[in-house]
Amino acid sequence: MDPEMDTQLKIGFIGAGNMAFGIAKGILSGNALPVNVSVSAPSSRNLGRFQELGIAVTHSNIEVVCGSDVVFVAVKPHLIPLVLNEISQHVTDRHTIVSVAAGVTLATLEELLPENSVVIRLMPNLPCMVQEGALLFARGTHAKPDDGALLRSLLHRCGLVEEGPETWIDIHTGLSGSGVAFVYLFAEALAEGAVKMGMPSALAQSIASQTVLGAGRLLRDSGKHPAQLRSDVCTPGGTTIYGLHTLEQGGMRATTMSAVESATERARELGRKSAAGSRK
């Protein structure tokens, strides 16, 4: 994708929550210019931080759509029918509509928008806020490979950006959207273990967060399988293998797999509900 194109693209956000803000920050750290970005939300509560980035703010969703080529719809899933009904008559063939609403299917989005609309479903996660996100997108019926390439180009500074079939989106939600919270729970437990053994809480939290960060970066950048890295840390009869044995006794591996499964199933269930709701 030509980076020059990103500088001329007009980008709009409907919704001003954390996901919209994280994506906006990532886009602006790439080639997009603040003057070409706008955001709308019903209240001014979250708009101040966008203004600090030099982004134009408004309460009008229609204003954002009319002034944009790419529109990120980043509202709560139950608001999607309301918002798309409001903007649909202003959506033209120049628009790419990118939905960030969890559980809302491409079929539902396409049903609520004009025929032949270019729609992409995107699932980011919270670390987009610090440009370390994991983002997966699926193209709708009328979105071409070029539309996917354009989105990749826009989002490349947000973190890892991958494309896949829509069936993977719910799995990605369970793995990466919810998985972030699983990692926080683990980090909290690591720190509490250290507190139990006599380390001050603030220091334990600081070391736990750095441990999770360092382990994650090494895993990503080394290209090694997690089992290989885990094995590298284990010395025969050493501290790590004793700790790992305790985690295995607690069923950590099976419990984590089940947690991803539960979160994925819930995402699928929400998708079925959203599809049923849009047909009413």
Distances (CA, A) of 118 to 76, 114, 256: 21, 9, 37
Ligand-binding annotation for 14, yes or no, is yes
Residue 10 annotated in ligand binding:
no
> Is residue 263 part of an annotated ligand binding site?
no
15 labelled ligand-binding: yes
Amino acid at 130: V
Which are the contacts of 195, defined by CB distance < 8 A and separation ≥ 6?
A: 201, 204
The Cα–Cα gap between 60 and 41 comes to 7
Q: Residue 122's closest CA among 90, 95, 154?
A: 154
Is 77 annotated in a binding site? The answer is: yes
Q: Please give the Cα distance from 229 to 7 (Å, whole number).
A: 41
Question: Which structure tokens are listed for 28?
Answer: 């602006």
75 marked ligand binding residue: yes
Closest CA to 13 of 48, 56, 44: 56
In the block, residue with structure tokens 């120049």: 94
Helix 145-155 and helix 18-28, axial crossing angle in degrees, nearest 10: 90
The answer to whether 61 is a known ligand-binding residue is: yes
Cβ-based burial of 222 (10 A; exposed 0-12, middle 13-18, buried ≥19) = exposed
Q: Distance of CA 121 to CAs 53, 104, 118, 129, 265, Å?
A: 25, 8, 10, 19, 18
Residue 18 marked ligand-binding: yes
Residue 194 in tokens: 């250290």
Binding site for NADPH: residue ranges? 61
Binding site: residue ranges? 14-19, 61, 74-77
Binding site for NADP(+): residue ranges? 14-19, 74-77
